[in-house]
């Protein structure tokens, strides 16, 4: 039986003058960060951009909250990376939200998204 996966979708918004910077910085994330994400359960993380709006599709082998807690507890110093990305994102109401899933189709069939 296949291990269950969890899918999380997020939406974030870039400052209008930082779009090119974000695309350049995110062309490759630091290897240590990618390794830590994998070690904490991230199977895939895909980011799409529509203008200034970023859509994140995150597939994990455990609930997203556990992934984030594991990253926070890791010995990896992410302050520089987080500060760089934080400076590029808007921090207003609704600019960083978790999206609600309403429909899903995968190898097991269709579901209401949960």
pLDDT the model gives residue 94: 81
- Measured CA to CA, the distance from residue 86 to residue 95 in angstroms comes to 12
pLDDT the model gives residue 1: 52
- Measured CA to CA, the distance from residue 96 to residue 76 in angstroms comes to 24
- Measured CA to CA, the distance from residue 92 to residue 14 in angstroms comes to 11
Helices 31-39, 64-73: axis angle to 10 degrees equals 130
The parts of the chain modelled with pLDDT lower than 50 are none
This prediction's pTM: 0.87
pLDDT the model gives residue 5: 85
pLDDT the model gives residue 2: 62
Structure tokens at 61: 């082998």
pLDDT the model gives residue 93: 84
Structure tokens at 39: 């070690």
Architecture, CATH, for domain 6-94? 2-Layer Sandwich (3.30)
Task: Provide the residue ranges of all domains of the chain, joining segments of one domain with +.
Answer: 6-94
């Amino acid at each position: 039986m296949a291990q269950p996966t969890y899918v999380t979708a997020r939406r974030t918004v870039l400052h209008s003058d930082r779009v090119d910077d974000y695309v350049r910085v995110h062309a490759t994330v630091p290897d240590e960060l990618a390794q830590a994400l994998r070690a904490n359960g991230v199977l895939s993380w895909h980011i799409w951009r529509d203008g200034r709006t970023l859509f994140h599709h995150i597939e994990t082998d455990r609930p997203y909250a556990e992934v984030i807690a594991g990253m926070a507890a890791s010995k990896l110093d992410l302050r520089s990376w987080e500060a760089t990305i934080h400076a590029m994102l808007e921090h207003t109401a609704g600019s960083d939200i978790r999206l609600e899933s309403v429909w899903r189709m995968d190898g097991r069939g269709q579901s209401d998204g949960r």
